[in-house]
Structure 1
Amino acid sequence: MFYDYIVIGLYFILILAIGIIFSRMASKSTSDYFRGGGRMLWWMVGSSAFMAQFSAVTFTGAAGKAFTDGFAIVAVYIGNTFAFFCAWAFFAHRFRQMRVDTPTEAIKRRFGSQNELFFAWALIMFSFLNAGVWLNALGVFTSAVFDADISITIIAIGLTVLFVSVLSGAWGVVASDFVQTLVVAVVSVACAVVALVKVGGPVKMIENFPGGFLIGPNMNYPLILFGTFIFFLPKQIITMMNLHDSFRWLNAKDSFNARKAALLAMILMGVGSIIWFIPPWAAATLYPDAAADYLQLGNKAADAVYLVFARNAMPIGTVGLLMAGLFAATMSSMDSALNKNAGIFVRSIYQPFLAKRNRHKCDDKLLKISRLVSFVTGVGVITAALYFASLKELSLFELMMSVSTMVQVPMMVPLVVGVIVKKTPQWAPWATIVIGFFVSWFVMNVFTADVFASLFGIGLLTDREIIDLNIIMIVGGHVFITSSFFWATSIFYNEAKDKNKLETDRFFEDLESPFSADDQQDGVDSQQRNKLGNMVITMSVGILLMALIPNPLWGRFIFAMCALIIFGIGYLLKRSSKSKTYSR
């Protein structure tokens, strides 16, 4: 563990350094703090969009699901990949073309100021739940690694993430996301290669998986599994391609870079969907009793399977690198949430309602308030994570899916469909959410999976089938009922009473109008490449030093190769920063 502590310590120093280095770029204005002034290159935006959808749940709750159920977990991540494809085809460049600094400013343009205020408070409260799930997942895993109290672990990690987010805003968030993408890639690929070698190749891994690889155990009705995959596609579009999550693309320097960013995120998610889960799939054969080592985690014991694999199969120091990857995943998700909340509060709550007299005069004051809001939001996220840690009866995957399907989907339906359907009354968004919450409650408490099964003459369902069928029914309810309700409100639209009509018309015009960067962009491009190139090269040196850890030759070779690849990326960034012309 001595080397693991060193690796983690050096990683934190690197992330803190990124926050300090990019803090100057975030200190010019609130637009810089919230979205980097809309001047970021596609590879920064794409890696950040990818990391914002990637959290420690992937290495914990989702890995535990892969360990017990096999290939089924990939359905969620294929849904993510498909959503990023839709971003490339339709959403990403249009979101960049909204010409706003925060998601709720886009909501105001589309639905009016009353809906802006409603969604501002609702989305801030929801982020506490979502980021709390991410932080709890990291706390579970970290407490298992270091045999520490989970509450203390959550508080310590949360405060560290809070420091970076408050200090550097969107520039630090996105820059650290890019570096963290490389960390995640290094850990994932290295673990996947070793896992395949130890298990005897992909064919052996599939053949020897207990309970069947494609279907998994405790599944008497494979059609339920197929239904889960089908309904995950629209679910992920709803939860990722909406006006709230448009913040992923507001950072891009122009429309073209937004589309390229979406394409990069799609490729990373598509490849990662398989690579991430090879170690837990292999562990089901290599270490079938892995969960028994962490019974203190209750039903979350299987969520530590990645740790078991790293400790038993990987060279010394990998656990530290794995923990760095987990910190990277959760920090990227949590700091994005904190930065986004600061923008929502300042632009949609404080500025228009609490600072009417000075809202156009004191951007410096608003910048200070933004940092304060980030801090307060971080404390709220830590509190939510501590509450989730007390829910021992739920696995992390079930917890994540419960929050996502029951709360997030109904909230985001009007923010997706509203980009397509133009003529809706001002009450349509919040009325749709009320209907959506009723649908979630009705499926969970009245028309449950057991009731559905008995109605259609389906025999006794396993616990796994009940969970999956609940997901299908809730998502199906929102796709067919909640979405249809919002669409149907068009019947009640009265153009004469629409006070926001002119702004809504301009909003849809902007959606179709390409946005181009100004003539000052080249200097900002150079700074991005140069600063990140330096950080990436520094990280490659740190990983190269891991080759000195007393490991077998193959273990040293893995670290050396990873360092070489990362150094090459850093070198290319540094070299391109010195060029007088920059490719789009």
Structure 2
Amino acid sequence: MFYDYLVISLYFILILAIGVVFSRMASNSTSDYFRGGGRMLWWMVGSSAFMAQFSAVTFTGAAGKAFMDGFAISAVYLGNTFAYFCGWAYFAHRFRQMRVDTPTEGIKRRFGPENELFFSCALIVFSFLNAGVWLNALGVFTSAVFDTDIGTTIIVIGLTVLFVSVLSGSWGVVASDFVQTLVVAVVSIACAVVALVKVGGPANLVNNFPGGFLIGPNMNYPLILFGTFIFFLPKQIITMMNLHDSFRFLNAKDSFNARKAALLAMILMGLGSIIWFIPPWAAASLMPDAVEGYTQLGSKAVDAVYFEFARNLMPVGTAGLLMAGLFAATMSSMDSALNKNAGIFVRSLYQPFLAKRNKQTTDKKLLNISRLVSTITGIGVIIAAWYFATLKELSLFELMMSVSTMIQVPMMVPLLFGIFIKRTPKWAPWVTIVIGFFVSWSVVNICTPEVFVSMFGIESLTNREIIDMNIILTVAGHVFITGGFFCATSLFYNEERDTNKEETDRFFEDLKTPYIADDQQDNVDRQQRNKLGGMVYVMSGGILLMAIIPNPLWGRLMFVICALIIFSVGYMLKRSTKNKT
């Protein structure tokens, strides 16, 4: 474990260094702090968009689901891939063309200041819950690795992430996301290759999986699994391509870079949907009792299967690199939440409050307030994660799905449908959310999975089928009932009473108008490539040093190859600084 500790420590130092290097670029204005001034290149934005959707849940709760149920878990991540495809085809460049610094400013342009205030408060609270789930997942995994108390682990990790986030703003967040994407990629690919070799190839991986690879155990009605996949597609579009989550693409330097960023995120997510889960799929047949030693995690013990694979079948030091990747994933998600909340508070709550009182303040003071808000938000996330750790009866995957389908989807329905439907009354968004929460409550208390299937003569379902049916019913309810209600509000639209009509018209006109970077962009581009190229060089050097760790020859070669791959990326970045575009 000594080498694992050493790898994690050195990785933390690198991430802190990234925060320091890019902190100056985030200290010029609140726009720089919130979204890098809208001057980031597509490969930075794309990797950040990818990492924003990627968290420690992938290597913990989702890996546990893959270990237990086989290929089914890929439906969730293929849904992410489809959502990013839709982003490339339609959404990403339009989000950039809103010409705003924060997502709630886009909501204000579309729905008016009253809805901006409503969504600002609601989305800040929701971010506590969502980031809390991510941090809790990392706490579960880390506590298993280091055999520590989950609550203490969550607090320590949360405070570390908080420090880096407050220091560097969006430039540091996105820059670290890019480096972290490389870490996640090399760890995932290395683990997948070793897993396939150990299990004897893809054919054995599929054929030897207990309970059937495609369907998995405890699934008497495969049609439910198919339905889950189908309904994951609209669910992920709703939760990823909406006015709130437009923050993924507000950083891009122009419309073209925003589209390319979505394409990169789609490719990374598509490949990852398979590569990430090869180790737990292999472990199901190679190490069926892998998680029996994690009794302290209760029903969440299965979520530690990825670490057990890395510790037992990978070279020494890989587990530490994996932990660094997990920290990277959660730090990315939590960083984004903290930075986004700071922007929402300052631009949509604090500044309007000052304006009403005819008060003004400097952008420098607003920047300091942004950092204070990030700190408070981070403490709130730690508290939420600590609370989730007390819910022993829920697996991490179930917890993530519950928060997403029951709370997130109804909140995002009007923020997606509102991009397409222009003529809606002022009250449409928040009344739609109320309807959506009622739909979620109904699935839990009235039209439960058991009640629904009884209409078709099915007497009972397995626990796995109940979970999947709950997802199907909730998403279907929100697509047809919640979404249908928002569309129907057009019948009550009165143009004469629409006080936001002129701004709404300008908003939809801007959505169609490409954004082109100004002539000052070239210097910023070179800074991004140069600084990140240097950081990638350092990362490749660190992984190359792992080759001296006592391991078999194949293990040492694995680290050398990973280092060379990362070094080549740094070389291309450094070389591209000679180009203007």
Q: State the TM bucket, normalised to the shorter chain.
A: over 0.9
Paired with 2:354 and 2:385, the residues of 1 have a C-alpha distance of 30
Match of 1:183 in 2: 183
Match of 2:201 in 1: 201
Q: 1:156 to 1:276 in 2, by over 3 A?
A: same
Match of 1:513 in 2: 513
- Between the two proteins, the alignment pairs up a number of residues equal to 581
1:480-502 per-position Cα deviation (integer Å, ceiling 9, x unaligned): 00000000000000000000000
Paired with 1:54 and 1:477, the residues of 2 have a C-alpha distance of 26
> Shift of the alpha carbon at 1:454?
1.1
Bigger mean CA offset, 446-455 vs 336-345: 446-455
Match of 1:216 in 2: 216
Paired with 2:293 and 2:273, the residues of 1 have a C-alpha distance of 27
What TM-score, normalized to structure 2?
A: 0.99
1:243-297 per-position Cα deviation (integer Å, ceiling 9, x unaligned): 0000000000000000000000000000000000000000000100112121211
> Shift of the alpha carbon at 1:384?
0.1
Equivalent position amino acid for 1:331 in 2: M
Match of 1:536 in 2: 536
Equivalent position amino acid for 2:519 in 1: D
> Shift of the alpha carbon at 1:570?
0.4
1:454-494 per-position Cα deviation (integer Å, ceiling 9, x unaligned): 11111310000000001000000000000000000000000
> Shift of the alpha carbon at 1:572?
0.8
Paired with 1:236 and 1:295, the residues of 2 have a C-alpha distance of 34
1:149-171 per-position Cα deviation (integer Å, ceiling 9, x unaligned): 11111011101110111011000
1:318-371 per-position Cα deviation (integer Å, ceiling 9, x unaligned): 000000000011000000000000000000000111455676651000000000
Match of 1:421 in 2: 421
Paired with 1:358 and 1:3, the residues of 2 have a C-alpha distance of 58
Q: 1:520 to 1:15 in 2, by over 3 A?
A: same
Matched, 1:473 2:473: yes
> Shift of the alpha carbon at 1:417?
0.2
Match of 2:461 in 1: 461
Paired with 1:2 and 1:278, the residues of 2 have a C-alpha distance of 27
1:169-188 per-position Cα deviation (integer Å, ceiling 9, x unaligned): 00000000000000000110
Match of 1:147 in 2: 147
CA contact (8 A) 2:316 2:549 kept: yes
SS of the aligned residue for 2:293 comes to: helix
Match of 1:561 in 2: 561
Q: Give matches, 1:174-573, under 5 Å.
A: 174-354=174-354, 356=356, 361-573=361-573
1:392-429 per-position Cα deviation (integer Å, ceiling 9, x unaligned): 00000000000000000000000000000000000000
Paired with 2:142 and 2:562, the residues of 1 have a C-alpha distance of 24
CA contact (8 A) 1:424 1:493 kept: yes
CA contact (8 A) 2:133 2:388 kept: yes
CA contact (8 A) 1:82 1:233 kept: yes
CA contact (8 A) 1:351 1:359 kept: no
Paired with 2:472 and 2:216, the residues of 1 have a C-alpha distance of 18
Q: 1:360 to 1:31 in 2, by over 3 A?
A: farther
Paired with 1:12 and 1:502, the residues of 2 have a C-alpha distance of 49
Paired with 2:361 and 2:250, the residues of 1 have a C-alpha distance of 24
Paired with 2:293 and 2:80, the residues of 1 have a C-alpha distance of 32
Equivalent position amino acid for 1:388 in 2: F
Identical columns (%): 81
CA contact (8 A) 1:199 1:282 kept: yes
Equivalent position amino acid for 1:200 in 2: G
Structure 1 segments of 4+ aligned residues over 3 angstroms from their partners:
354-361
CA contact (8 A) 2:23 2:168 kept: yes
Paired with 1:79 and 1:262, the residues of 2 have a C-alpha distance of 14
SS of the aligned residue for 2:292 comes to: helix
Match of 1:9 in 2: 9
CA contact (8 A) 1:352 1:359 kept: no
1:497-521 per-position Cα deviation (integer Å, ceiling 9, x unaligned): 0000000000000000000000000
> Shift of the alpha carbon at 1:578?
2.7
1:540-559 per-position Cα deviation (integer Å, ceiling 9, x unaligned): 00000000000000000000
Match of 2:59 in 1: 59
List gaps (5 residues or longer) in structure 2. Answer: none
Paired with 1:361 and 1:526, the residues of 2 have a C-alpha distance of 33
SS of the aligned residue for 2:420 comes to: coil
List gaps (5 residues or longer) in structure 1. Answer: none
Paired with 1:63 and 1:273, the residues of 2 have a C-alpha distance of 11
Equivalent position amino acid for 1:456 in 2: F
Match of 2:40 in 1: 40
Match of 1:99 in 2: 99
Paired with 2:469 and 2:542, the residues of 1 have a C-alpha distance of 47
Paired with 2:476 and 2:39, the residues of 1 have a C-alpha distance of 39
1:38-95 per-position Cα deviation (integer Å, ceiling 9, x unaligned): 0000000000000000000000000000000000000000000000000000000000
CA contact (8 A) 1:112 1:426 kept: yes
Equivalent position amino acid for 1:300 in 2: K
1:123-145 per-position Cα deviation (integer Å, ceiling 9, x unaligned): 00000000000000000000000
SS of the aligned residue for 1:418 comes to: helix
Paired with 1:361 and 1:341, the residues of 2 have a C-alpha distance of 20
Paired with 1:482 and 1:90, the residues of 2 have a C-alpha distance of 23
Equivalent position amino acid for 1:439 in 2: V
Q: 1:532 to 1:447 in 2, by over 3 A?
A: same
Paired with 1:574 and 1:148, the residues of 2 have a C-alpha distance of 42
